[in-house]
């Protein structure tokens, strides 16, 4: 199926967001049976220049882990956090200065395992209003840059690829200024198919099986 065959929403209007919320509520969430450190990330759906998009960050080379990698806003769960949603919203505000009041939370997604052994819970949310990337207050110690990729870019087969990581294949999205790979690409690929309901071929089967075996 080509990108031209996929019907994309022109905007994340209420009906689209409600359908995402219903899919998440009905989703048999994959949970990883691991003790120890946990984290949560916000998968931020947004509008940039009037187009439906997903927001990403590029981490600095001075952070403790995942140096220089593209990620979703997020981080470790603090003792004071109420739940995974609270963690994701707090980290998003700390990393890119986005007030939690602007985020319409849609639900939680499959748990994922970071290469560091941390179990990560993705939280889907919609950023209200048209997002101005230049207006974000990015934390200079944690984030080099915030950027967005439109749904049109994310479903384009020319930018949806597999890469070999040792004996495993993993997804990579190459449409933007920085490649989206690793855990972020894995979560993104599943979100596009399972949360947004887009008819895309899976890029993640092999790595999902491997991570489940490891868990």
pLDDT by residue (tens digit) across 20-35? Answer: 999 999 999 999 888 7
- Say which CATH class 9-155 falls into: alpha beta
Please tell me the predicted confidence (pLDDT) of residue 211. Answer: 45
- The chain-wide mean pLDDT, for the chain, equals 89
Identify which of 97, 14, 15, 10 has the alpha carbon closest to the alpha carbon of residue 49: 10
What whole-number percentage of the chain has pLDDT above 70? 87
- pLDDT category, 184, cuts 50, 70, 90? very high
Q: Compute the distance between CA of residue 192 and CA of residue 184 in angstroms, rounded to an integer.
A: 12
Question: 4-8, 51-55, 197-201: which range is least confident on average?
Answer: 4-8
Please tell me the predicted confidence (pLDDT) of residue 38. Answer: 94
Structure tokens at 34: 């691991």
Predicted structure pTM score: 0.91
Identify which of 95, 86, 46, 45 has the alpha carbon closest to the alpha carbon of residue 66: 95
Please tell me the predicted confidence (pLDDT) of residue 204. Answer: 65
Every domain of the chain and the residues it spans: 9-155
């Amino acid at each position: 199926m080509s990108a031209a065959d996929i019907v994309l929403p022109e905007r994340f209007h209420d009906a689209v967001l409600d359908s995402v919320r219903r899919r998440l509520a009905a989703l048999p969430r994959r949970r990883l049976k691991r003790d120890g450190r946990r984290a949560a990330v916000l998968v931020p759906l947004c509008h940039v220049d009037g187009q439906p998009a997903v927001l990403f960050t590029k981490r600095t080379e001075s952070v403790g882990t995942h140096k220089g990698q593209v990620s979703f806003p997020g981080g470790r769960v603090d003792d004071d956090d109420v739940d995974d949603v609270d963690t994701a919203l707090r980290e998003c505000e700390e990393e890119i200065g986005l007030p939690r009041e602007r985020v319409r939370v849609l639900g939680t997604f499959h748990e994922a395992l970071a290469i560091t052994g941390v179990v990560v819970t993705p939280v889907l949310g919609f950023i209200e209003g048209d997002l101005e990337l230049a207006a974000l207050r990015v934390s200079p110690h944690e984030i080099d840059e915030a950027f967005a990729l439109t749904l049109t870019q994310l479903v384009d087969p020319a930018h949806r690829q597999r890469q070999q990581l040792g004996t495993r294949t993993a997804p990579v999205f190459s449409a933007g200024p920085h490649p989206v790979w690793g855990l972020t690409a894995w979560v993104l690929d599943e979100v596009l198919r399972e949360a947004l309901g887009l008819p895309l071929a899976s890029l993640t089967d092999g790595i999902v099986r491997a991570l489940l075996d490891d868990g």
